[in-house]
Amino acid sequence: MTITKQLLLASTAGLVVTAAAQAADLPVKARPVEYVKICSLYGAGFWYVPGTDTCLKIGSYVRAQTMYGAGNGGVALGFGDGASGGHNTRTASSDFAFRSRGVLSVDLRTQTEYGTLRSYMNVGAEWTTATNNAANNTGASADKLFVNRGFIQFAGFTAGRIRSYFDINSLSPYSYARQLNGDTGSKGIYALAYTAQFADGFSATLSFEDGGLSNGGRGRMTSNAAMPEWTIGGTSGVQDIAFDNKGTVMPDVVGALRADGSWGYAQIAAALHDASGGYYGATNSTVNGHPSDKFGFAVTGGFTLNNVFGNKRDAVGLQATYSEGAAGYAARRTDSQAVYQTSSNAGFGWLSEALYATNTPIELTTVWSVNGFFQHFWNPKWRTSLWASYTEVDYNGAERAMVCAGAGGGLTPGFITGLSAVSNCDPSYSWILVGTRTQWNPHPDLDIGLEVMWTHLNTAFKGTANLATSGAQPAIVGAHIDDQDAASVLFRIQRNFLP
């Protein structure tokens, strides 16, 4: 019995010692859990990053879009959509095109003694089928990564990739089609700007923005007659235009005055743009000298009114833009328009902001545009919008003489090749887009809609011409050059989350 008691006492003592040793390894006090807190300073979706005074919002959207009679995100076939030069045949183009896109955005904001410090960026990826059958809708050209926004704002300054301060109304909230006016909203543009805020919603901005042609700039689109450009071929229609600009030596200068309120907003803006050319003769050839530098300009004005005609949430807007030697402000495109109804019935349009030939000064091209919209809410889940835009490209007499020089109505090969015996030579043209979109929102974050669009090309080349042979297409004698029309339908499903 004594031995049993001794064993029990020894075991108990061992357990006590072991427990005491383990207890000594435990912290005296557990650290408190740091919960995520809501940040209500900047609206819905923001929360404080734990351990900081910075507010963060992460947003996204995912889109699926089907297009008939359009490509390149919603541009009618032949109107700069990347199809086979506008030829609408069994093998040159596809009536249906598809796009899938996803975008992720990050918005960081911190209060400082100078106001809000903000950084914002979005990163996206998309897959788009080609309207040109030769691409077979596959390959790297169908897949793309992009960054439309990436900027910092602090103490009134904005620097990075933004929507231009020249722009006023974007038709994107009211349309699925890719617009052909000068708005930079879809791609963004690099800028360094300062905005001064005044009372009653008034503000003034001075902005220095990218005036180059590459990667979203406003477009250095000055054309040299000695370079092969505006090419027309029997298979490819209109080839890429060749431009000959002086290298970028200064940004575009943009100034804007704006008023914002519960009623909507209104703005006027102006821009100065360098349209200077390269050298006379062949590109990069210094032997013949160069034209004097030339600057273009653009002006715009527009507004959007909320809750119009006594209907809550309804909106109407209008914007007009005029440019000389700054075409990218009125027409957001650097490609050409070539629309073939048949191989012998076509319409053409070429866009340059300025032209020059050997030993001539630079002549500025006039481009102006107007766009407007109206959106009506039938109820909180259904809405319909009507929108339209008109853009006109006018070449002056000196420019027409450069393009149309030659005996018997011929054309200077440096400007237009593959087109001859033109009965009416005038490179001026215009285009009209009219559309209506109806959208259903079964959930506030889900868009399901259908849009019908009509695109019209009005070409001043009306008449007859001979088209040179190219590839499998035969030469066409007496081809009919006239206005052209295209009808398109777009269907979209999009899930939005804290956009």
Distance, in Å, from the CA atom of 327 to the CA atom of 81, rounded to the nearest integer, reads: 19
Sequence-separated (6 or more) residues with CB below 8 Å from residue 340: 78, 85, 86, 87, 88, 89, 237, 346
Is 268 buried (19+), middle (13-18) or exposed (0-12) by CB count in 10 A?
Answer: middle
Domains for the chain: give ranges and CATH numbers: 154-497 (2.40.160)
Please determine, for residue 234, whether its predicted confidence score (pLDDT) is greater than 60.
no
Strongest mean pLDDT among 21-30, 228-237, 346-355? 346-355
Distance, in Å, from the CA atom of 279 to the CA atom of 121, rounded to the nearest integer, reads: 39
Least Cα distance to 218 among 172, 251, 194, 243 occurs for 251
At residue 220's C-alpha, the angle toward residues 222 and 366, to 5°, is 60
**pLDDT at position 185, please?**
85
The token duo for 48 is 């404080």
pLDDT band at residue 88, thresholds of 50, 70 and 90? low
Placement of tokens 């804290």 in the chain:
498
User: What is the C-alpha radius of gyration for the chain, rounded to an integer number of angstroms?
Assistant: 30
**pLDDT at position 47, please?**
96
Pick from 29-33, 163-167, 316-320, 478-482: least confident: 29-33
pTM: 0.87
Placement of tokens 């100065």 in the chain:
272
pLDDT band at residue 139, thresholds of 50, 70 and 90? very low
Dump the DSSP string for 434-445.
Answer: EEEEEEEEEETT
**pLDDT at position 410, please?**
61
**pLDDT, tens digit, for every residue of 61-86?**
999 999 998 887 888 877 765 555 55
Please determine, for residue 129, whether its predicted confidence score (pLDDT) is greater than 90.
no
**Residue-averaged pLDDT of the chain:** 83
Whether the Cβ atoms of residue 241 and residue 334 lie closer than 8 Å to each other: yes
Pick from 54-58, 88-92, 165-169: least confident: 88-92
pLDDT band at residue 388, thresholds of 50, 70 and 90? very high
**pLDDT, tens digit, for every residue of 318-347?**
999 999 999 889 987 656 777 777 767 888
**pLDDT at position 478, please?**
83
466 CB neighbour count, 10 Å cutoff: 14
Average pLDDT over residues 307-314: 92
Please determine, for residue 278, whether its predicted confidence score (pLDDT) is greater than 50.
yes
Please determine, for residue 43, whether its predicted confidence score (pLDDT) is greater than 50.
yes
293 CB neighbour count, 10 Å cutoff: 12
**pLDDT at position 23, please?**
47
* Residues forming a β-bridge with 431: 391, 457
Share of residues in the chain with pLDDT > 70 (%): 77
Between 446 and 93, the more confident residue is 446
**pLDDT at position 54, please?**
96
**pLDDT at position 238, please?**
44
**pLDDT at position 310, please?**
87
At residue 390's C-alpha, the angle toward residues 374 and 362, to 5°, is 145
Between 175 and 31, the more confident residue is 175
pLDDT band at residue 97, thresholds of 50, 70 and 90? confident
Please determine, for residue 45, whether its predicted confidence score (pLDDT) is greater than 80.
yes
**pLDDT, tens digit, for every residue of 405-444?**
764 556 665 677 677 788 888 889 999 999 999 999 999 9
The token duo for 61 is 């959207």
The SS3 assignment for 408 reads helix
**pLDDT, tens digit, for every residue of 183-230?**
888 888 999 999 999 999 999 999 999 987 655 556 556 777 665 455
Between 130 and 330, the more confident residue is 330
